[in-house]
Amino acid sequence: MLDTHARKYVEPSIERSARWFLDKGRTANEVTILAFLVGVGASVWYITGFPVVAVLFLWLSGFLDAVDGTMARHSETSPFGTVMDVTFDRVVEIGIILAIAFVHPEMLWPLLLLSVSIIFSMTVFLVVGTVSEKVGMKSFYYQAGVAERTEGFLLFSLMMLVPQWLFFSTLFFFVVETFTGLQRLFEAKKIL
């Protein structure tokens, strides 16, 4: 929801950063890899006991993820770049979930439920994007929902920074992600 409706507020800084990387001769795929490495770094920082640094790295990764897409739209897009982008996004999210599970093993079941809800929602999102004839700003149909990447980052941040609420924030994330998957499924029935 925030990715769709609030992007216009951060778009100028994303655009400036994309232009800066392009002016330096960098490619969108290189920034995708950088975003991935920074995102994986977030998990490492969390495991080593630095949750604030982990959250900063997570958000920097998300920012770079937005920058690489803008760069791709200003240069040559690559189908493999899209594959890398979507795959690396999921690996970063998996890394955060695994890091939280490592630090809080008592939370294994709620984190497993959260993982299942993310798999469900992303499966619907990717399949609808593949079979839909609609094409948006991205290289496939982008189905908006209540929980998009920004909402996920907000909830991951809450989970990492406020461990005393971890059980409830994880279950809330599970509910929101499941709702988003169902929302996308019902929308797919209408548009397909």
Residue 120: predicted pLDDT: 94
For tokens 């899209």, what's the residue? 82
The predicted model scores a pTM of 0.89
**Does residue 136 carry a pLDDT above 60?**
no
Q: How many independent structural domains does the chain possess?
A: 1
Span 139-153, mean pLDDT? Answer: 76
**Does residue 111 carry a pLDDT above 90?**
yes
**Residue 42 · residue 58 · CB < 8 Å:** yes
| Total length of the chain | 192
Please give the residue that has the higher pLDDT: either 48 or 130. 48
**64-80, pLDDT tens digit by residue?**
999 999 999 888 778 89
**Does residue 4 carry a pLDDT above 70?**
no
**Does residue 42 carry a pLDDT above 90?**
yes
Span 99-103, mean pLDDT? Answer: 98
φ/ψ of residue 138, rounded to 5? -90, 180
Domain containing 142: what range?
2-191
Q: What is the mean pLDDT of the chain?
A: 90
- Of 35, 42, 59, 82, whose CA–CA distance to 149 is shortest? 59
